Amino acid sequence: MSAYKLNIAYFGIWCVLIKTLFVNEVIAQQRCGAFEWDCNNGQCISEDARCDGVVDCQDRSDEIAENCIQSYSTCHAFAFKCTYGACITGGYRCNGRKDCADNSDELICDTKKFDNLQGSCKSDIDFQCTQSKECISKYSICDGAKDCSDGSDETLELCVGFDCPEIAFHCGYGACINGNAKCNGIKECADGSDEAWELCGFPRLTDKVKQQPTASDNDNNCQLPENSPHLVAYLHPQNRTISLGSWVKNYDTVHLECSNGYRIPNDASLNCQNGKWTGVFPTCAQYCDGNSLRGLSTFHVCINNAMSARQCQRVQPNTEVVIRCNIGYKGFGNNSPLMRCTSDGQFTAERPTCDVECGILRRNTELTRRGLPVEKSEVPWQVAIYQKPDKVNYKFICGGSIISPSVIVTAAHCFWDVVIEDKMHVDFFKVAAGKYYRDYDMSKDPTAQTADVAEIVIPSSFRNDKDNFLGDIAVVKLKEHFVFNQNISAVCLKIEAGADRYVTSNLVGSVVGYASADDKILQRVPMKSLSYHGCQSRHPQSSLANDKFCLQNEGDATVCRGDSGGGFVIYNLNTKRHELLGIISYTPFSNVECARDGFVTVTNVNYMSDVVMQKMLKFKQDDKALF
C-alpha cells in the first residue's frame, strides 16, 4: 500500500474515533431526563429532590452549598434555612433529628459553644484555634477568611447561626461577608459559596463535562438548537435576544428562559467552549407552581418516578402530590388528599387546608427544676409578653394564651397606661412563644419564637382598677404568625352564652407562670375554680366585677402579678381537649406581689365584649386565609 493510501486510511480511522468520542460525550451529557437533575458524578435524581435536606446523590452533590446556596434567600417564610441553602419545614428546627444534610438544624441549638471561645488565650477578646491553639481576635471568626492555620475559625460547627447583618451574604457554612462581595469573581467565603455557579449565573462545570479542543478556530463557535419550542435565548451580558439556530462565538454565554408560561428546571446559562456547550439545552415544560401548595396548616410530598421529595418548589408534569397536616393542625386523618400536576401546568385540585387542632399536648423532654413537672410541650399555648422600655431591654409583664397562629388572648391591664388612662402603643410590646425561661434572653430558649404586636383590642369601657377591672380581657394580633410545632400550638376557646357562661365552683384546672422573681422558669399550679358568688361570700371585703370568678389552691405555690394575663385551663373529658375558661386578672389584696392563700381573681372569657369578640373572630379568619 502506498504512503498516500496509508495516510488516508489512518485519517479515516481517526475520524471514526473522534466521532465516537463526541457521540459518547453528548450521550453522557444528556443521560438525565428533562425533569431530573444530574449529580456532579453523573447520577440522575428527581429535580425536586435537590436541596431538600435529604441526600439523594451518591456524591452528596445535591445537598452542598455549591449547588444549593442560591436557594437560601428564596426559602419560604415558613421554612428553616439550612446553612448550605436547602429549605426544610420550620418546625424541624431543634427537634433532635438531623433534617438538614449538614445537620445545621440541630447544630444551631448549641448555645454553649460561645461560652469558652477564649480558651487559654490571655485576652477576653481572643479566640483560641481548636487544633493549632493559636490566638486570634474574636472579631476574625466566621468572616470568610481562615485566620487559624487549622481553619477552625471558619467551620460549620462554629459559624452556624452566626448573626449576620441583613445586607451581608451568608456563606454556605454560616459565615458572613460583605453583600457586595458576592459574585465578584473572588472567592471570599472559605468554602467559595459566594461564587457558586447558579448563584452567579455561571455555567456549571462538572466532572462529566469534557472540553475537547477542535482543529480550527472556525469550528470553535457554537450553534443554538433550531427546534426547541418556547425556548428563548439571551446573549450575556448584553441581554440581547438571539434567535434559535444562531451561532455564537467561542466563550460566549447565553441565558435561557421559556415563554408563554412554560418553565425550565432551573435558571439556565450555557457557555460555548471550543465548539461545545458546557451543558445540555433544557426542555421547556408547563410546571405547576409549588408555591401554591404552601400554607401554615399543611405540607406536601411530591412523588415522581418512584422518587419523593418534601416541599418541592417546581412540580413537574405527572407528579403526584400528597397533602398532609402540619403539627398543630387537623383535617385529613389517614386519608391524605392526592393531587397531580397536569401537562398544562395545573393541579387537578386546589390545595386543601387543615384546621387548628387546639388543646392537644405533645409531651417532650421534662424540664422541671422543682415543684410540679413542667414540660415545654405541656403548655404549648403559653406565651410571655414583654414590654420594651427602650430598644435594648425587654421586661416581662404578662402571660397569655395562643388561640390562633397570630392571635393571643390575655389581660387588658397588661397594656394599660395609668398616667394617660388609655392603652399603650403596640410598639412597646413583644410576644414570645415556647419560652421556658422568664428572661427575654433567647440564647436560653433557642427554639422559642418571637413576634411584634400589630394591634391590641380591649373593651372601650375598661378603666383598670377604677371599675374593679371589669372587662379585663385583651385580644392581641401579632405582626408575624407562630409556626406550630411540638412546643407551640393553640388552646381551645369556646365562648358560651346564657346560663352556660357561668363558671361553677370546683372545676379542676391549672395556671402557668414564672412564679416569683427568684424562680425564673415556667411552673404549673393546679387550681380549682370558685364561682363568682362563692368568691364573694368567702371574701366579703373584696368587691368583684360581675365578669369574674376566683381560683384557689391548697399548696404552697402562689400566683404572682407577673403571671397576669395567663389562662386558667381545664381538661374537657367530653372533647378530650384543654379549654381556656378565664384570664388571670388581679389579686383583691393591695400592696402584695403574689396572691395570698392561693386566691386570685380571674376574668370569665364568656363575658368577652361583643366588639372584642368580633375583632377576635376577624383575626382568626385572617389567619385561616394563610392555612
Domain boundary among 444, 478, 512: 478
Give the SS3 label for residue 207.
coil
Which helix (H) or strand (E) is 21 found in, with range?
helix 3-29
Domain boundary among 478, 510, 537: 478
Phi, psi of 568 (to 5 degrees): -90, 115
Do residues 277 and 292 both lie within one domain?
no
Q: Residue 41: inside a domain, yes or no?
A: no
Do residues 312 and 386 both lie within one domain?
no
Do residues 468 and 514 both lie within one domain?
no
- Going from the C-alpha of 395 to that of each of 92, 374, 423, the distances in angstroms are 29, 23, 17
CATH number at residue 443: 2.40.10.10
Do residues 571 and 601 both lie within one domain?
yes
According to DSSP, the β-strands at 288-289 and 176-177 are unpaired
Which helix (H) or strand (E) is 236 found in, with range?
strand 231-236
Do residues 575 and 556 both lie within one domain?
yes
d(CA 256, CA 267): 7
For residue 433, give the DSSP letter. E
Do residues 275 and 296 both lie within one domain?
no
Specify the higher pLDDT residue, 471 or 111: 471
Residue 11 reports pLDDT greater than 70: no
The whole-model pTM stands at 0.60
Q: What is the mean pLDDT of residues 288-292?
A: 81
Q: In the structure, what pLDDT confidence band is assigned to residue 20 with cuts at 50, 70 and 90? A: very low
Would you state the pLDDT for residue 556?
57
d(CA 244, CA 264): 16
Do residues 336 and 426 both lie within one domain?
no
Do residues 504 and 599 both lie within one domain?
yes
Cis, bond preceding 213 (omega within 30 deg of 0): no
Would you state the pLDDT for residue 290?
81
Q: Residue 435: inside a domain, yes or no?
A: yes
Q: In the structure, what pLDDT confidence band is assigned to residue 24 with cuts at 50, 70 and 90? A: very low
Beta bridge partners of 417: 422
Would you state the pLDDT for residue 597?
56
User: Which of 473, 458, 483 lies closest to 607, judged by CA?
Assistant: 473
Instruction: Determine the straight-line distance between the first and last CA of the chain, rounded to whole angstroms.
Output: 83
Do residues 523 and 453 both lie within one domain?
no
Helix H segments across 443-501?
none
Residue 133 reports pLDDT greater than 60: yes
Q: What is the mean pLDDT of the chain?
A: 81
d(CA 265, CA 47): 7
For residue range 296-312, list pLDDT tens digits in order. 999 888 888 777 777 77
Q: In the structure, what pLDDT confidence band is assigned to residue 266 with cuts at 50, 70 and 90? A: low
Q: Residue 376: inside a domain, yes or no?
A: no
Beta bridge partners of 456: 476
Do residues 325 and 259 both lie within one domain?
no
- Rounded percentage of the chain residues whose pLDDT exceeds 90: 24
Would you state the pLDDT for residue 309?
79
CATH number at residue 257: 2.10.70
Q: In the structure, what pLDDT confidence band is assigned to residue 603 with cuts at 50, 70 and 90? A: very high
State the CB neighbour count (10 A cutoff) for residue 135. Answer: 17
Q: In the structure, what pLDDT confidence band is assigned to residue 14 with cuts at 50, 70 and 90? A: very low
Range with the lowest mean pLDDT among 119-123, 135-139, 154-158, 535-539? 535-539
Do residues 498 and 530 both lie within one domain?
yes
Q: Residue 568: inside a domain, yes or no?
A: yes
Domain around 553: 492-606
For residue range 328-363, list pLDDT tens digits in order. 999 877 677 888 888 778 889 988 999 999 998 865
Specify the higher pLDDT residue, 13 or 439: 439
**Overall domain count for the chain:** 5
Specify the higher pLDDT residue, 47 or 334: 47
288, 318 Cβ separation under 8 angstroms: no
DSSP of 48-69: GGTTSSS--STT-GGGSHHHHG
Residue 149 reports pLDDT greater than 80: yes
Range with the lowest mean pLDDT among 71-80, 205-214, 342-351, 456-465? 205-214
d(CA 430, CA 482): 13
Q: Residue 614: inside a domain, yes or no?
A: no
For residue range 361-405, list pLDDT tens digits in order. 865 433 223 335 455 557 899 999 999 877 678 888 899 999 999
User: Which of 367, 377, 456 lies closest to 409, judged by CA?
Assistant: 456
DSSP of 128-147: E-TTT--EEEGGGTTSSS--
Beta bridge partners of 366: 375
Would you state the pLDDT for residue 589?
47
Separate counts of helices (H) and strands (E) for the chain: 7, 37
- The number of residues making up the chain comes to 627
d(CA 79, CA 91): 8
| Cell 427554639 sits on residue | 447
- Going from the C-alpha of 213 to that of each of 144, 219, 273, 275, the distances in angstroms are 36, 9, 8, 8
Domain boundary among 420, 446, 478: 478
Q: Residue 261: inside a domain, yes or no?
A: yes
Q: Residue 294: inside a domain, yes or no?
A: yes
State the CB neighbour count (10 A cutoff) for residue 446. Answer: 14
Q: Residue 48: inside a domain, yes or no?
A: no
d(CA 186, CA 205): 17
Do residues 387 and 330 both lie within one domain?
no
